[in-house]
Structure 1
Amino acid sequence: MKRPPKKAATDRSFVVALSRGLEVLRAFGPNDGLLGNQEIAARTKLPKPTISRLTYTLTKLGYLTQVPRFEKYQLAPAAMSLGYAALANLGVRHLSQPFRDELMQQTGGAVAVGARDRISMIYVGQARSSLTVGVQLDVGSRIPIATTAMGRAYLCALQGDERASLLRDMREHYGSRWPRIKEGIERSEEMVAKHGFAISVGEWQDDVHAAGVALTLNDGTGPYAFNCGAPAFRFTEDRLLNDIGPRLVAMVRKIEAALGGTAAPQSRRPDKSDNKKTKSGGKVARVVEGIR
């Protein structure tokens, strides 16, 4: 983790103390149990005396729980409730669930939707089965933008300053590895322009192959991105290009239609259940937007 950028730190509207407190909460990962002040300081790159004051304050506010026996802390229910509230209000997660479940059943792959968190994508919804035992990711998991199908699809959906800023952050993060990673991103840009989806063939993890498609909304949120992945022996590169990728594009188009309350175009492989799902799109979209 990094300290706030100098530009943000000198902004009169930017509250540095608040940003540091949030950095402490972000230091706790999905697989972390207890963290001490020294571990938090190392992760946030903040001075240990500052961390001591912040953990004390967050404990008093109910966002951390101190475990005196180990002199460490863990996230308290108040902190976790923020994440659950965010997920509960994320309409695209709920609306996309039946579509993700359907694609999972059709392909045998794990199907997820994610949103950006700095230079990573964080899973906000996941559908998987026993066939995807090699893909051990769930809600809250983070994957890199630069080397994954989901991340590259997301990146291709960005424009202007937001895209340029993300590329600068990734270049700084990856250092000497950046030229090679950039080549993969450029290949994905060409693929998205031609086919509408990106792929990652062992570029993030050797034994995981996936396709990714971005979803851009008109309400100012997102973009979001979806992926469909499986162990490499199940999803060969040829299958990604000729089967999984096109199916994923069709799924995302259906979700866009449901959000807009219109009928989705037929995919290359029309399914009997398609009509039932697209006809209810308008109603589903209204529910997601909070209109009963």
Structure 2
Amino acid sequence: MANSERFVLTASVLELSNGFLRNFDIRARARPFLIALAEKTGLSVHLAVRDRLDMVVIDSIRPRSAVLVSRLEVGGRMDLSRTAVGRAYLSVLSAEERQALIGSLQTASGDDWPAIARGLQLGLDYARDHGFAISIGKWHHGLNAIAAGFVGPSEERYSVNCGGAAHSCPPETLVGDVAPALLDCVTQIALEIGGKAGTPFFDQAD
């Protein structure tokens, strides 16, 4: 029994360590592209992964040229259902994985779910049609952002968020100017790590 307990603990720790090392490697290889995106757009850029029902920042880049930028640091959490970064993550899940995670979000949201679900579905429809998600003042008033997801070489999912104060990145600027740079960034990261960019897992069932 004691030996069995030690084995389970060791396996659990090893799994956590492997996940950390994998994310650390992706972060290191993605960073040059994230820096280039931040400098090109003048906006804050974040690389995030999912932890339970939140998105967690694993890298945060602030452009040198910007005065007012997001202060979200590494380890910061963002809402999965209401943010661009969360919706972009959902967009690169398989239909089965996406529905299971949405079910968990519904359970956790309780009576607030109908309002959340409407916004989430609109956000996912937008991501499917455009290849990126957008959030205009929905998570924090006065902050706008877009995000795009990608798939790592071992099928792990990541999301790149780009945004800032509403006056510096109105919707038309995000869609017309920032989105092409974001999508190019995500494509370059996917090529660098041997992953996949875009929303490849949406299908007709969605």
User: TM-score by structure 1 length?
Assistant: 0.58
**Structure 2 spans left out of the alignment, 5+ residues:** 196-206
Contact 1:123 1:141 (8 Å CA) reproduced: yes
Q: Which residue of 1 aligns with 2:117?
A: 182
Bigger relative contact order, structure 1 or 2, given CA contacts below 8 A and separation 6+? 2
More strand by share: 2
TM-fit CA distance, 1:160: 3.9
User: TM-score by structure 2 length?
Assistant: 0.80
Please tell me whether residue 249 in structure 1 is matched to residue 203 in structure 2.
no
**Aligned pairs (5 A) from 1:82-161:** 86=20, 90-129=24-63, 131=66, 133-161=68-96
| Higher Cα radius of gyration | 1
Match of 1:211 among 117, 140, 146: 146
Q: Which residue of 2 aligns with 1:236?
A: 170
Deviations 1:7-30 (A, max 9, x none): xxxxxx999x97xxx9xxxxxxxx
Letter in 1 for 2:115: R
Deviations 1:111-136 (A, max 9, x none): 11110001100001110136263411
Contact 1:211 1:245 (8 Å CA) reproduced: yes
Segments of 4+ moved more than 3 angstroms: none
Deviations 1:257-278 (A, max 9, x none): 12239xxxxxxxxxxxxxxxxx
**Residue 167 and residue 126 in structure 1: after superposition, are their counterparts in 2 closer, same or farther (change >3 A)?**
same
Query: For the residues of structure 2 that align with 1:243 and 1:89, how far apart are their CA atoms?
Result: 29
Query: For the residues of structure 2 that align with 1:250 and 1:14, how far apart are their CA atoms?
Result: 47
Letter in 1 for 2:167: F
Query: For the residues of structure 2 that align with 1:223 and 1:14, how far apart are their CA atoms?
Result: 31
Same amino acid, percent of matched pairs: 32
**Residue 253 and residue 247 in structure 1: after superposition, are their counterparts in 2 closer, same or farther (change >3 A)?**
same
**Structure 1 spans left out of the alignment, 5+ residues:** 1-12, 23-81, 262-292
